Structure 1
Amino acid sequence: MDTASMTVRGRGQARRAADSTAMAVAARAGFAARGLIYLLVGVIALRIAWGGDGGGRQADRGGALGELADKPFGAALLWAVGAALAGMALWRLSEAVVGGAGPDGTKPSKRAAAAARCVFYAFVSFSVLAYAAGDKGSGSGSSDRRTHDVTAAVLTWPAGPWLVGAAGAAVVITGLWIAVRAARKTFRRHLRTGAMSPRARQVTDVLGVAGGTARGAVFAVAGVFALVAAVQHRPGKAKGMDDTLRAFRDLPAGPWLLALIALGLAAFGVFSWCNARWREV
């Protein structure tokens, strides 16, 4: 191989290494931003658990953004979160195109899941950035209102109740899948456990199990409400994240149960920060 070819090859390798580093930074920033949002949702839900109104905030992404906006340097924080979530979307896109880390990262199912997550994080990033730019009805909109509006619209379609019911069943299954995977600690497959101390692995396990179980429970219950809305043909029965969390408070021992779920969501936020540090990307 001549010198020119070696130079071109070396430049190509350097460029790929730089691209890989950039994607790693984008992914880690995205996990950090996700963790901040879940931590704030958990804090708001904890306020609601003990008879408060959450400080006037919804226990959902919109409420979390409102909390950030009221903090010192809130506008800068919102822009940073939106940009970080855009980085997460780009990383998921790269996984969909070239495959993710791990031996099964190039499987079609993994690529399809990465593509779906790319679309989700792109939407969330856009809504956060729009809110930061002054569109207060964008990122801070109530998840309950959006859920009601979408459900009401779909129920007017000829096969609307079946579609809402199918979506509700899918959300229930997704919630159970999230909870089971958390309980089985499958998240370990994506972490650089060799780089973690025994104490860090133990703490991350606790956060991952508690956070994933709580998150899965919220998904599953929200799916049940969608199923009820489909069966009764009443869009008001479908609930977003805030109303779903408040529904826990109305059960026997409800404040304690909601407090447990709230702490779990906050734990998932901190677990996301652990991913920002030790995730294989």
Structure 2
Amino acid sequence: MATGSATTRGRRQAQRAANSTAVSGAARAGFVARGVIYLLIGVLSLRIAFSDGGGEQADRGGAIAEIAEKPFGAVLLWLLGIALVGMAVWRLTEAAFGQAGPDGKKASKRAMAAGRCVFYGFVAYSVLSYAAGEKGSGSGSSDKESQDITAKVLDWPGGQWLVGIAGAVVAGAGVWITVRTVMRKFKKHLKMSEMAPKARTAVMFLGVFGGACRGAVFAVAGGFAIAAALKHKPGKAKGMDDTLRAFTDTAAGPWLLALIALGFAAFGLFSWANARWRKV
């Protein structure tokens, strides 16, 4: 009985910590950091749309390198990495105790939170590693990484199936993100009643436009992975940078990439709105 009571008290204490101001602040800092990364990717994509890109990467690595070149860049990277750790911690508490809202304790919601915790943990590690001096860590090309991983998996027994399934999952996630964004499902996570009418309109636009562009890029990247599996050619797989550049090969030329770039910037601003009005 005593052991059971101690366990119950421990769980309650952990849940109180998860709902604390510190975890809430960590989550909001994480949204700010996410916004910075997407804004920079948007800026880099816009540069590439109307130039040869100058060797810049329109992905997380490119954003990290861009920050590093600024005055006090190392300090900014440390702050960014720590903020992303905060995001990972918040997602971990959601996985352990459920999200805010009536359906937040569903197993599917908690599993998604666990996946996001791992993702943000990896991103935080890459940023902090770069800030600590491992220049090849955070700023590596997403295209080369995607092709290297694809090449390794294709050499495995059943590798084509694995790459194809992974591509289908990424493409499906892109479609899912786009559909939910257009349906404005994100509204239930925001404190809409606290927004002024003009702010509400702006946040809705940023969320729909930014989220739809983000989902489209995921869907296209997944399509490239499926093509790599079908043709057994690792070079067909593309990271974010090459996926974004592929939009310039369409009939719309650089203008489609420019639209996607503005969408990424919009998602960055939407992330900042989440930092202010997200229910955590």
Q: Give 1:75 deviation, angstroms.
A: 0.5
| Cα deviation digits, residues 195-239 of structure 1 (max 9, x gap) | 111111100000000100100010000001000000000000000
3-state SS of paired residue (1:28): helix
- Using the TM superposition, give the Cα deviation of residue 251 of structure 1 relative to its aligned residue in structure 2, in angstroms: 1.0
Are 2:27 and 1:22 equivalent residues in the alignment?
A: no
CA–CA distance in structure 1, aligned partners of residues 73 and 142 of structure 2: 22
* Residue in structure 2 matched with residue 4 of structure 1 by the alignment: none
Equivalent residue of 1:222, what SS?
helix
The 2-side partners of 1:113 and 1:31 are apart by: 17
Which residue number in structure 2 is paired with residue 45 of structure 1?
A: 45
1:280 is paired with a residue whose SS is coil
Give the distance between the partners of 1:52 and 1:249, measured in 2 at CA.
Answer: 11
CA distance in 1, matches of 2:270, 2:97: 26
Q: Give, in angstroms, the shift of residue 253 of structure 1.
A: 1.5
Q: Indicate yes or no: 2:213 matched with 1:214.
A: yes
- Displacement, 1:73? 1.0
Q: Paired residue for 1:72? A: 71
For residue 188 of structure 1, give the secondary structure of its aligned residue in structure 2.
helix
Task: Give the C-alpha shift of residue 56 in structure 1.
Answer: 2.9
Aligned residues: 269
Is the counterpart of residue 205 in structure 1 residue 188 in structure 2? no
Q: CA RMSD in A?
A: 1.5
- Percent identity over the alignment is 67
- After the TM superposition, which parts of structure 1 deviate over 6 Å for at least 4 consecutive aligned residues? none
Q: Which blocks of at least 5 consecutive residues in structure 2 are unaligned?
A: 1-8
2:35 is paired with a residue of what secondary structure? helix
Residue 158 of structure 1: aligned partner? 157
Query: What is residue 61 of structure 1 aligned with on the other side?
Result: 60
CA distance in 1, matches of 2:261, 2:40: 10
What amino acid is the match of 1:88?
M
Provide Cα deviations, 1:42-101, integer angstroms capped at 9, x if missing partner.
000001111231x43200000000110011111110000100000000000000111110
Displacement, 1:19? 5.3
Q: How far apart are residue 280 of structure 1 and its match?
A: 0.2
Q: Distance in 2 between matches of 1:219 and 1:278?
A: 26
Distance, in Å, in 1 between the alignment partners of 2:268 and 2:163 is 29
Unaligned runs of 5+ residues in structure 1 are 1-8
The answer to whether the Cα contact below 8 Å between 1:38 and 1:265 also exists between their aligned partners in 2 is: yes
Aligned residue number for residue 116 of structure 2: 117
5 Å matches for 1:136-155?
136-155=135-154
